Amino acid sequence: MSVLLSSIAALLTSGIVLILIMPFIRRLSIAIGAVAVPNHRTMHSSIMPRLGGLAIFISFMSAAALFYAKLAPTLPAFWGLFLAACIIEVVGVIDDVYTLSAKWKMLGQLLAASTVALSGFTIDQIHIPFGSDLYFPAWLSILLTIGWIVGMINALNWIDGLDGLATGIAGISCLALCIIAAMTGNVPVLIISATLLGSLAGFYLFNAEPASIFMGESGSAFLGFVLAVLAILGFKQAIFVSFIVPLLILGVPILDTLLAMVRRAMQGRPVYEADRGHVHHRLTDLGVSRRKTVYTLYVISAFLGICAIILTKASQSGITLVMLLLLVVLLILAGAELVGISKGKLPLSAFLRRIRRVREEK
C-alpha cells in the first residue's frame, strides 16, 4: 500500500511542480530564442516557444529526488541512468536553442545510450511465451540496448508533430506501464512511470490544442529515453510475458518510425531526413482535422496498451489470438503503404485523396 501511495504522491508532485514552473520556462524559452519557426513540414503557423521539455525534465527529476530512497535500492545502475538522462536533456536543450545537425544529436544519443549499457543496465534476456528464455552474450546485449534507446528517442521525436500528440501517446504508454507494474509488483517501474505521467499530465494543459508551448527536442528525446529505460526494466525484472508487450505499449511511435525509415530508404534519402510522410501528416492530408487525428492516434495507442495489459495475464491461447489480430492489422497498414512506395505509385493516403476528388467531381 505504501508503494501505491508513494506512486500517487510522485504523480501529484511532478504535475504540480511542472504547472508552477511553466510560466518561467515559457519566458526563458522566448528570452534565449528557443522557439519553433513554421516551415514546410510543421503543422503550426506562428512562432512558438519550444523549451517545454525542460519543464518536464525538471518536474520529473524533482519528484524522483523526493522518492530516491524507494528507487535507488531497487533500481540497478541508478547513477548511470541519471547521468544518461542529463546528457539527453543537455543535448536537447542545446538543439532547441541552436538547432543542432542530425549527426551531433545522434552523437549525444549514442553517448547517453552507451552510458546506460556500460553501467550494466542491458537487455540480456527476453522471455518467449511459447519457449524458454532467450539469452544474449554481453556484446550483443550492449548493442541491443543502445539500438533500442536510440530508436525510441527518435520514435518519440518523429511522432511529435501535432499539438498534444507525443504528450498524449507518451502519457497513455506511462499509464499502461503503471497498471502492469502495479499488477506485477514492480516498484521502480511503477514509481518512475507514475512520476513521468504526472509531468505529462501537467504539460498537457499547456500542450493540448491550441498549444502555448512545444516540448521540443528536450522533451521528445527525454520522453523516448525514459520510456525505453522503463521497457528495459520490464525485461530485466520479467514483468512482461514477452518482448511483444513493450512493443505494443509504444506501438504507434515505433510503427511510424519503421515506416518512415523504410520509406526514406526506398526513396533514396537518408533515414534521418525529416519529411511530411508520418502518420499524422497522412491523416491530416486526407482531410481529417488535427484534433481528430490526435484523438484517433490516442485511441490506437490506448487499444495497444490494453492489449499489452491483457497479455501480461493471458493464457497461451489468448496470447496467440491477440498477437495474430494485431499482426494482421499491422501488416495491412504497413503493406498498403510500402507497396505503393516500392512500385513508384501513389502512397495510400494520396491514392485515397485522388478517389475522393474523383467522387466530388462526379
Indicate the range of 9-13, 235-239, 267-271, 309-313 predicted with least confidence: 235-239
Domain extent for 336: 2-361
Per residue in 36-90, pLDDT tens? 877 555 555 568 899 999 999 999 999 998 887 777 666 767 788 999 999 999 9
Per the structure, the count of domains in the chain is 1
pLDDT of residue 321: 66
pLDDT of residue 319: 63
pLDDT of residue 284: 63
Q: What is the rounded distance in angstroms from the CA atom of residue 180 to the CA atom of residue 201? A: 19
Per residue in 291-347, pLDDT tens? 888 888 898 888 888 888 887 776 555 666 666 666 666 665 555 455 444 444 444
Show the cell assigned to 312: 501480461
Q: Do the beta carbons of residue 39 and residue 161 sit within 8 Å?
A: no
- What is the pLDDT of the chain when averaged over all its residues? 79
Per residue in 191-243, pLDDT tens? 999 999 999 999 999 999 888 999 999 999 999 999 999 888 865 544 444 45
pLDDT of residue 192: 92
Confidence band of 348 (pLDDT split at 50, 70, 90): very low
Q: What is the rounded distance in angstroms from the CA atom of residue 297 to the CA atom of residue 191? A: 26
Closest CA to 318 of 327, 329, 307: 307
Q: Do the beta carbons of residue 100 and residue 91 sit within 8 Å?
A: yes
Higher-pLDDT residue of 192, 127: 192
Indicate the range of 8-12, 239-243, 274-278 predicted with least confidence: 239-243
Region 29-39 average pLDDT = 85
Q: What is the rounded distance in angstroms from the CA atom of residue 227 to the CA atom of residue 285? A: 29
pLDDT of residue 218: 95
